[in-house]
Amino acid sequence: MTVKTQGTHLYFLNTLESTVALVKLTCPTGISGLGGARDQIDSTCLDDTDDRRYVAGLGNPGQVSVPFNLHPEDASHQVLFDLKESGETLSWIICLSDGTAVPTLTDDEITPPTGRTSAEFQAFVQDVNIDAATNDIVKGTLTLQRSGKVTWNWKA
């Protein structure tokens, strides 16, 4: 079974306000970059004569890129600039369209929805870039630097 992209949502934990809030990003048009290659550690011995030997090292969390259509009046877009300035690492969750349940906030932590595939990760806002071109709408690109692994919650 495949999953359509329509109905996919991106949420983040906004900790900059006096009350922690779960915020849904308005109008993302894509999400990419949940990967990250694992380091390789050279374990070659002096007496090896053919090829080097390696063992797996730590993973390198990649950058997540989120293009979006800018809605200047929208609080979810306005706070991105403050999050960039703060440099704070936050919780993020992508919820795929194989369900409609929304994540919840429990003790200032995101609880993934049941009955819907989701991917949770920690990241800080590395950049928010705004683009304006002739005969187009104003668009932005949110760049997140992940810290740690992605936790997948698979729909049963």
* Domain 9-153, classified CATH 3.30.9, yes or no: no
- Integer angstrom CA distances of residue 96 from 7, 33, 92: 7, 15, 13
The per-residue pLDDT for 18 is 86
β-strands 90-95, 9-14 pairing: antiparallel
Instruction: Report the alpha-carbon distance of residue 138 to residue 14 in Å, rounded.
Output: 24
Secondary structure (H, E, C), 94-118: EECCCCCCCCEEECCEEECCCCCCE
pTM passes above 0.75:
yes
Enumerate the domain spans of the chain: 9-153
The per-residue pLDDT for 1 is 81
Mean pLDDT of residues grouped by 10 in the chain (156 residues)?
95 92 97 94 96 96 97 96 96 97 94 96 98 97 97 93
